[in-house]
Amino acid sequence: MGLGANSGFSAPALYQKDGNYYLIATPPINDFNNGTMIFEITDIENGLIKRSNDIPVILLNFSGKAGTHNGVAT
């Protein structure tokens, strides 16, 4: 996946502020919910997030304590 997660995200949520949309989600790592990541959505109709050199831009990456469940975004 390229974001350090095993597969997908937990607890995704869509957030809108000042006309901009954001995806807030928790990456599961080694069977634990691990923090929260925020991505800017650049095209809400097609579900595209902001990228740099074809890699998703993470606006915020808050990691919790390793080996514990934490950060479920919603």
Residues linked to residue 48 through DSSP beta bridges, in sequence order = 43
pLDDT single digits (tens) 41-64:
999 999 999 999 999 999 988 876
Q: CA-to-CA distance for 31 and 51, rounded, in angstroms?
A: 27
3-state secondary structure the chain: CCCCCCCCCEEEEEEEECCEEEEEEECEECCEEECEEEEEEEECCCCEECEECCEECEEEEECCCCCCCECCCC
- In this predicted structure, the answer to whether residue 12 has a pLDDT above a threshold of 90 is no
- In this predicted structure, the answer to whether residue 71 has a pLDDT above a threshold of 50 is yes
- Residue 30 or 36, more confident: 36
